[in-house]
Structures are given as C-alpha cells and as structure tokens.
C-alpha cells in the first residue's frame, strides 16, 4: 500500500482533523507499517482501545499521546498472544495484512489463470467470461434436463435404486467399504451413494504438493461488516430490494408483462400477478396467544391453510408493502419454469405438493374480489440456477494432462462437521480419531465445519483454558502437523466458522472467516466465510453451517394443488406420491437461490438432553445478499445438521450431504461410540471424450459430478 493511499484511507476513517496534525498522521502511518494493518483495521483497533481506556471527550479528537498509547496497547497485546502461542506449542505469528486470504494467492491461483481469480460475488464463481478456464452459465445440459431425468440415481431421483441410495450398515462390506478390514480405529462406510464407483484408499492423494486448484467466488472482506450499526430502515430496504429482484426474474422467466402485475390488497375484476413473500398471520397469533397449537416449534405463528392463516407481503412499489391473506381456490394449479418439474410428481401427475414457509418468495395469479382475501388461481415457482460448466480443454488439463493435478486419478474430499467433542469432556477424542484416519488415508481436501469450540459446552465456563488456547492445543497442532513436509503435505484443510462457535466475536450471520494468526494456523490451511461457494478444480461446492434443513422442516406447511402441466395433457389417474421432505427442503434452497431462505429465523426446538437452548440464527438482513447464489447452483452442497441423520442424496443434479456430527450420537439408530464424517471420491471424465470435444468446438460443458462421485458416510471409532 502506497503512502498516499494509506493517508487517504486514514483521513477517511479518522476524519479530516487527522490530516491537519502531521505528528499524529506520522504515528498512524508508522502503526500501519509496523503491524501490517489497513486503515480500516487500525480504526477498529482504535475504537476498541478508546472505548475501554479513554474518557469520552478524548475519543472524538485523538491526539499524538493517544496514538502512542494505542501503540503500547497493540505491542502488549501482540506479546501476550505470542507468549500464549509459545506455551501451547503452536505457531506464533506476527500480525498479517488483511486482504484476500482465501484462494488464488498460491499455486492454485496461478494454475487457475486470470479468469479463476476474476469472480463475481458469492456464488458468482468464474462468471461468464469467454475464457476457456472459466466456469460459465450455459444452457442446461440435456443430461441434466428437468424434463428427462437419467435413471439410477440421476437428477431429481429421490427414491434412488439400491446402488445409488444409502445402504444398510452391513452392506458396506460388499461394496468396497472399509468395515471388514483395516487397522484398529479405521473409519468404515455405514452408507454409500453411487456404490458402483470403486472406493479410493487415498494413495493417489498422498504426496508432497497439492493436486487441486482452489478458488473462492467472493472477497472475504465483504463479511467484515459492522452489524451493530444497522438501522431498522436498512432491514426493510433489504427485504424490499430482494422482492424487486425476484420480481424481475419471474417476469422474464414466465414472459409476463409488468402491466399484468397488481396490488393484492386492491379489488380486481380480472386476474393479476403478484410477486410477494409468504408470512404468517401475526394478528391471528396475538389473538390466540393461549393456544399452543398456533405456534410452531420455533415460536412463530404457524402457517395455516385457512382464510387468515397465510399472508402474502408485496413490495413497496407493487403493493406498498401490504400484507394480504391468501386463499387457494379449488382449482388452483402449480406452474413450474419451462423445462422444470418436480421429482415427486411427473408432468402427467394430476396433483402435487406445494411447500410453503415464512420468507418464501412466490408469484401468485388470482384476484381480490372483496378487498379482504386474495384468491389464488395459480402458483408460479422461482426457477433455480443452472449448474456451472467448464471448457473441455480446461477439464482435460485439470483431470488428465497437467503434471501437478490429478493425472487421470480420482479426487478425494473428506468432510466433517462439529461439534468435535462430547458434552462430558473437552478432550476432543472424536477429533483426534478423525485426524488419525486422515493421516492414515490421505485426501486432497479436508473440509472442516464449525463449531470447533461450542459456545454452549457445559464445561467451557469452568475450563482453565481460553477457547483459542483449546483450539491451538487440539486443532491447530494437528492441522499444522498434517500440512507439514513430514505429514500429508498434499492435503489442503478448509475451515468454516459457525454462529455456535466460541472462537469468533462476530455474532451475526453471514460470518467472516477465522483469523489464522489468532488461532495459530499455518498458511496452508484455508479459511473461508460462512456461508460460501468455492471450487475444487472444476467442482463447485456450497457450504453453510446454519441448520437450514431443520428450520425448513419445522416451519413448512404442505398443501396439495393441481399440476398445471397435467391439465393440458388429458386425464390421468392419480398415482401415489412418495414424499421426501429432505429433498423438498433442498429444492426450496435451490429455487430461492439462498443458503437460508427463511425469514424470520425461527427459535430452534431444544435437542433431547441439550444443556441449553439454542438461539435463532442471528441473520443480518442488510447483508443477506452474501448468502445468495448469484450465477450457479453448486455441484456439491454441504448442509450439516445435528437434528437429522446423516444422508447423501442427489437432488436435481446436485449431491447434497449431511455428514453428521464428528462427535457422534444425535440420531436414533446410530452408534454412540462412533464419530461421523463423509468422504467423496470423484472420478475424472473420460479423456477420449474430452479430447473429442476439444477438437470439436471446445464449448463449455456440464460437470456431471453427480454421476461420477461416490459418497461414503463414515463411522469413525473413537479413541480409547
């Protein structure tokens, strides 16, 4: 950072009076250089120091003596942190310059090229630039068409055949699992998705350098927002802006004119279209406060299929933000985007299920005949985003020809989610058992999801160690050892935080990434914000540690309506529908293009035997855009949930995984003596097929990750 840029940044943060005091400006510039800080970070450190150490009159007009006192404070804090790191046996590091600490700075960024570093916002992975190295947003590949699902566990196939669905625990031995052999304490497959794909023993991932190119589609600095300064008006504007953006999307998808939009609170003789957000009836809830059935487990008013049980909230431009009760008419139908269909009811099925939840954005066609209730004649659903695509020449390089990549071998990814220790101790035995297996059976990427040190752990208040010290002692030491030359240097760990974690002071969601220096982690460990989309070679991975599946299941109201596509195809006898609530919840996430589409976040139901009640997700509305998918649907979606049994599913071409808690337990029928994790084995595409496509036009193609990935849900025996 040049001196002129630093001066301008300091004036912007501290105000014009700083520029008039040359001695104070010089002192601030010295602090920036000495501690590798940005002007904004220095201002944050000044605010924290001034609030705790200076009188109120000195905070607005800092003097040279005040900045020198700040220098002493920073030096004292650094010495304390270094002493703490040394005593814990971890790496003591000097303050690091803020910036894009994610991917792209090392070999991964150089390999991916300029287009791999030129990404658009969260979810805007690799944009749509014409470069051959970018993941683009093409027309949907025919194999992934919603209208023609492939068989054997293909797109939208929730039932899945035996080879493509979770196996019984004992069946893993017959399908390449590790249950019947291996050293004591070795993990073993309890369920398998796509078991026809052979399991990997990790030998190809064991090496002195990484075989993957990593990229993240956002600037991590966007997560460093100051949520305590949010105003109520900003929250309302954020909700309204999202409705306007969804409205434009629906008009374009269904070829609807803006003149056909109407205010749901006004009386209409003709049918109009309304784009709005589903909300519960707060007035009805107040009137029935004594009725326990009027509220969901989350404490919100329950959506009810009655005249006043469901409301639609329009935008300020379309309907002045009015909330109007809706009623589904007898012949109400569901219309899906062109080429789209639901897996539970094909296009000829006369009826299908519609899930509604607070915060859901829909387009409704109908009219308000009397001014009090909007009668719904048709429901128009949001279209989901296409999956990413990559030029065959780039795929050929990543999977076959590049000497520092896969060279025709499988890509191995392991996933684990917190908590990593039982509630009766802070020994982290499940974590160490997991890392023993990772060291024994190497993987290319190790994705670790928080919480690492649960804030609600009953022993944490009485522990003699601070949360950061516990992390350095158990987590940082193992991760630094794993990535050292004497360990498995080819493995790249990736860490994401959780709102339930004691390691972060950022109490709002979305969350910024961890601070590597504070936690004693080496530079080889990649830290990402929560939620986040990132890519491993060509595979786009979406991750969020918010328990969205639990909250969607608890707040959803399901109604049965008619299928609009079936109305034009003649009479078809009703067929039984196999209801898959998990797949339906995942489709809500995909169609709403958000890691957390609910609003407001509900109060979670206390888990059986939990020592404390979990608070609702602290959603920051003005920054909810950080949780949106901007351009692509991920190939792999990681949605950890301690309230659900571990699963691996293929939903509309996306592999969805809940690895379960690494500490084990939590769901009925699972062993309490085993931790849980997941492992993905992703085969490369056919080299001959890629070379043929390169010699043709080298047009971007879909990744087809769902058809070439084996997912093993693992049981990890705990240390004795």
Three-state SS string over 649-671 comes to EEECCEEEEECCECCCCCCCCCC
pLDDT at 363 (0 to 100)? 95
Query: Over 70: is that where the pLDDT of 97 sits?
Result: no
Contact assessment for residue 679 and residue 655, using Cβ atoms and an 8 Å cutoff = no
**Residues, the chain, total?**
720
d(CA 541, CA 664): 24
- How confident is the prediction for the chain on average, in pLDDT? 78
Phi, psi of 434, rounded to the nearest 5 degrees: -60, -45
pLDDT at 95 (0 to 100)? 36
Instruction: List Cα–Cα distances, 564 to 256, 309, 336, 380, 590, in angstroms.
Output: 17, 24, 8, 10, 21
* Number of Cα atoms under 13 Å in the Cβ half of residue 436: 18
Query: Over 70: is that where the pLDDT of 76 sits?
Result: yes
pLDDT at 573 (0 to 100)? 37
pLDDT at 235 (0 to 100)? 81
- The answer, yes or no, to whether the previous bond of 315 is cis (omega within 30 of 0) is no
- Ranking 205-214, 445-454, 643-652 by mean pLDDT, the lowest is 205-214
pLDDT at 715 (0 to 100)? 95
pLDDT at 468 (0 to 100)? 94
Indicate the pLDDT class of residue 308, thresholds 50, 70 and 90.
Answer: low
Query: Over 80: is that where the pLDDT of 213 sits?
Result: yes
pLDDT at 174 (0 to 100)? 34
* Number of Cα atoms under 13 Å in the Cβ half of residue 702: 20
Helix (H) or strand (E) holding 540: strand 539-543
Phi, psi of 207, rounded to the nearest 5 degrees: -170, 180
pTM above 0.95, yes or no: no
d(CA 237, CA 386): 28
Indicate the pLDDT class of residue 128, thresholds 50, 70 and 90.
Answer: very low
Angle between helices 22-35 and 39-53 (to 10 degrees): 110
pLDDT at 219 (0 to 100)? 76
Q: Alpha-carbon dihedral of residues 494, 586, 605, 288, nearest 10 degrees?
A: 150
pLDDT at 292 (0 to 100)? 43
Q: Alpha-carbon dihedral of residues 278, 283, 288, 291, nearest 10 degrees?
A: 30
Three-state SS string over 97-165 comes to CCCCCCCCCCHHHHHHHHHHHCCECCCECCCCCCCCCCEECCCCCHHHCCCCCCCCCCCCCCCCCHHHC
Q: For 488-503, what is the mean pLDDT?
A: 90
Q: How many angstroms from the chain centroid is the CA of residue 426?
A: 27
- Ranking 53-57, 519-523, 579-583, 704-708 by mean pLDDT, the lowest is 53-57
Indicate the pLDDT class of residue 607, thresholds 50, 70 and 90.
Answer: low
- Ranking 88-92, 291-295, 573-577, 715-719 by mean pLDDT, the lowest is 88-92
| Strongest mean pLDDT among 284-288, 321-325, 361-365 | 361-365
Q: For 311-331, what is the mean pLDDT?
A: 88
- Ranking 239-248, 294-303, 504-513, 686-695 by mean pLDDT, the lowest is 294-303
Q: For 525-537, what is the mean pLDDT?
A: 95
Which residue has 């020592």 as its token pair?
A: 611
Q: Which residue has the higher pLDDT, 104 or 597?
A: 597
Q: Which two tokens stand for residue 546?
A: 């918010």
**DSSP notation for 65-101:** HHHHHHHHHHHHHHHHHHHHHHHTTS--------S--
- The answer, yes or no, to whether the previous bond of 4 is cis (omega within 30 of 0) is no
* Number of Cα atoms under 13 Å in the Cβ half of residue 279: 20
| pLDDT tens track for 647-705 | 999 999 999 999 999 998 755 444 457 899 999 999 999 999 999 999 998 999 999 99
d(CA 490, CA 210): 4
d(CA 503, CA 617): 17
* Pairing of β 557-563 and β 351-356: antiparallel
d(CA 243, CA 255): 18
- Ranking 182-191, 329-338, 397-406 by mean pLDDT, the lowest is 182-191
- The answer, yes or no, to whether the previous bond of 99 is cis (omega within 30 of 0) is no
Q: Which two tokens stand for residue 224?
A: 């460093």
In what side-by-side order are the strands of the sheet with 188-193?
188-193, 709-717, 674-682, 411-417, 445-449, 492-496, 526-527
Q: Which residues contact 692 (CB under 8 A, 6 or more apart)?
A: none
Q: Which residue has the higher pLDDT, 433 or 113?
A: 433
Q: For 192-219, what is the mean pLDDT?
A: 84
Q: Which residues contact 133 (CB under 8 A, 6 or more apart)?
A: 112, 113, 115, 116, 126, 390, 391, 394
pLDDT at 302 (0 to 100)? 61
Tell the burial category of 111 from Cβ atoms under 10 Å away from its Cβ (0-12, 13-18, 19+): buried
Query: Over 70: is that where the pLDDT of 326 sits?
Result: yes
In what side-by-side order are the strands of the sheet with 135-136?
135-136, 389-390, 701-702
Query: Over 70: is that where the pLDDT of 627 sits?
Result: yes
Q: For 222-244, what is the mean pLDDT?
A: 83
Helix (H) or strand (E) holding 47: helix 39-53
pLDDT at 640 (0 to 100)? 96
Q: Which residues contact 114 (CB under 8 A, 6 or more apart)?
A: 131
- Provide the 3-class DSSP secondary structure of residue 586: helix
Among residues 512, 530, 546, 713, the alpha carbon closest in space to that of 639 is found at: 546
Q: Which residue has the higher pLDDT, 185 or 667?
A: 185
d(CA 255, CA 210): 47
| pLDDT tens track for 263-294 | 998 988 899 999 999 988 776 544 444 444 44
d(CA 546, CA 551): 9
Q: Which residues contact 414 (CB under 8 A, 6 or more apart)?
A: 438, 443, 445, 446, 447, 677, 678, 679, 680
Q: For 487-497, what is the mean pLDDT?
A: 87
Percentage of the chain exceeding pLDDT 90: 44
Instruction: List Cα–Cα distances, 2 to 9, 32, 41, 288, in angstroms.
Output: 11, 11, 16, 63
Indicate the pLDDT class of residue 578, thresholds 50, 70 and 90.
Answer: low
| pLDDT tens track for 396-409 | 999 999 988 999 99
Q: Which residues contact 130 (CB under 8 A, 6 or more apart)?
A: none
- What does DSSP assign to residue 259? G
pLDDT at 605 (0 to 100)? 67
Query: Over 60: is that where the pLDDT of 118 sits?
Result: no
**107-131+147-226+387-547+604-717 in CATH: which number?**
3.60.21.60
**DSSP notation for 397-456:** IIIII-TTS-TTPPEEEEEEES--S-TT-S--HHHHHHHHHHHHS--SEEEEES-SSBTT
Query: Over 60: is that where the pLDDT of 300 sits?
Result: no
Q: Sign of dihedral through CA atoms 539, 545, 549, 555? A: negative
Indicate the pLDDT class of residue 18, thresholds 50, 70 and 90.
Answer: confident
| pLDDT tens track for 2-15 | 788 888 888 888 88
Percentage of the chain exceeding pLDDT 70: 74
Among residues 501, 497, 495, the alpha carbon closest in space to that of 460 is found at: 501
Contact assessment for residue 294 and residue 219, using Cβ atoms and an 8 Å cutoff = no
Query: Over 60: is that where the pLDDT of 567 sits?
Result: no
Phi, psi of 530, rounded to the nearest 5 degrees: -125, 115
Q: Which residue has the higher pLDDT, 204 or 322?
A: 322
Q: For 383-400, what is the mean pLDDT?
A: 94
């Amino acid at each position: 950072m040049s001196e002129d840029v630093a001066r301008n940044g300091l004036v912007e943060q501290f105000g014009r009076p700083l520029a008039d005091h040359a001695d104070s400006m010089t002192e601030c510039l010295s602090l920036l250089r000495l501690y590798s800080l940005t002007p904004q970070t220095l201002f944050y450190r000044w605010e924290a120091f001034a609030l705790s150490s200076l009188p109120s009159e000195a905070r607005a007009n800092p003097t040279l003596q005040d900045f020198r006192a700040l220098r002493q404070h920073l030096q004292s804090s650094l010495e304390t942190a270094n002493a703490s790191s040394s005593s814990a046996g971890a790496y003591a590091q000097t303050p690091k310059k803020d910036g894009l600490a994610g991917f792209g700075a090392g070999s991964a960024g150089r390999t991916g090229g300029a287009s791999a570093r030129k990404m658009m916002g969260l979810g805007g992975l690799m944009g749509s630039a014409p470069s051959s190295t970018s993941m683009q947003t093409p027309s949907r590949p025919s194999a992934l068409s919603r209208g023609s699902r492939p068989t054997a566990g293909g797109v939208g196939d929730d039932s899945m055949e035996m080879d493509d669905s979770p196996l019984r625990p004992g069946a893993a031995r017959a399908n390449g699992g590790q249950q019947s052999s291996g050293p004591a304490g070795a993990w073993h497959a309890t369920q398998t998705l796509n078991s026809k794909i052979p399991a990997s023993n990790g030998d190809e991932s064991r090496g002195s350098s990484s075989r993957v190119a990593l990229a993240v589609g956002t600037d991590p600095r966007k997560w460093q927002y100051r949520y305590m300064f949010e105003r109520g008006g900003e929250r309302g504007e954020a909700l309204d802006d999202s409705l306007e953006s969804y409205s434009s999307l629906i008009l374009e998808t269904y070829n609807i004119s803006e003149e056909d939009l109407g205010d749901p609170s006004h009386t209409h003789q003709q049918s109009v279209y309304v784009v709005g957000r589903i909300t519960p009836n707060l007035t009805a809830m107040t009137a029935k406060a004594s009725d326990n059935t009027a509220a969901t487990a989350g404490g919100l008013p329950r959506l009810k299929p009655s005249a006043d049980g469901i409301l639609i909230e329009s935008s300020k431009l379309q309907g002045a933000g009015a909330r109007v009760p809706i009623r589904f008419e007898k012949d109400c139908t569901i219309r899906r985007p062109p080429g789209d269909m639901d897996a539970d009811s094909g296009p000829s099925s006369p009826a299908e299920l519609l899930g509604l939840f607070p915060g859901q954005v829909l387009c409704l066609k109908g009219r308000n005949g009397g001014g009090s209730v909007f009668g719904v004649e048709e429901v128009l659903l949001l279209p989901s985003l296409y999956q990413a695509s990559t030029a065959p020449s780039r795929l050929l390089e990543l999977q076959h020809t590049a000497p520092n990549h896969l060279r025709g071998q499988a890509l191995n990814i392991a996933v684990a989610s917190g908590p990593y220790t039982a509630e009766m101790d802070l020994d982290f035995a499940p974590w160490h058992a997991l890392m023993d297996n990772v060291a024994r059976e190497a993987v290319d990427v190790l994705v670790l999801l928080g919480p690492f040190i649960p804030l609600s752990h009953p022993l944490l208040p009485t522990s003699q160690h601070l949360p950061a010290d516990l992390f350095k002692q158990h987590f940082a030491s193992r991760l630094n050892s794993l990535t050292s030359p004497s360990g498995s240097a080819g493995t790249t760990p990736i860490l994401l935080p959780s709102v339930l974690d004691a390691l972060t002071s950022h109490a709002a969601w979305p969350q910024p990434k961890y601070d590597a220096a504070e936690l004693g982690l080496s530079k080889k460990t990649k830290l990402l914000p929560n939620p986040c989309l990132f890519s491993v070679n060509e595979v786009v991975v979406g991750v969020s540690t918010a328990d969205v599946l639990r909250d969607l299941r608890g707040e959803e109201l399901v109604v049965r309506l008619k299928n609009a596509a079936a109305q034009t195809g003649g009479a078809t006898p009703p067929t039984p529908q196999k209801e898959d609530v998990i797949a339906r919840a995942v489709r809500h996430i995909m169609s709403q293009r958000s890691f957390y589409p609910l609003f407001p976040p509900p109060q979670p139901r206390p888990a059986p035997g939990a020592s404390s009640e979990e608070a609702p997700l602290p959603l920051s509305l003005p920054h909810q855009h950080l949780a949106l998918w901007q351009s692509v649907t991920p190939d792999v979606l990681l949605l950890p949930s301690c309230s659900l049994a571990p699963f691996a599913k293929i939903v509309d071409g996306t592999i969805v995984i809940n690895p379960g808690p690494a500490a084990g337990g939590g769901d009925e029928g699972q062993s309490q003596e085993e931790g849980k994790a997941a492992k993905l084995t992703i085969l490369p595409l056919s080299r001959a097929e890629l070379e043929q496509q390169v010699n043709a036009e080298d047009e971007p193609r879909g990744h087809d990750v769902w058809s070439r990935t084996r997912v093993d849900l693992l049981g990890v025996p705990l240390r004795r």
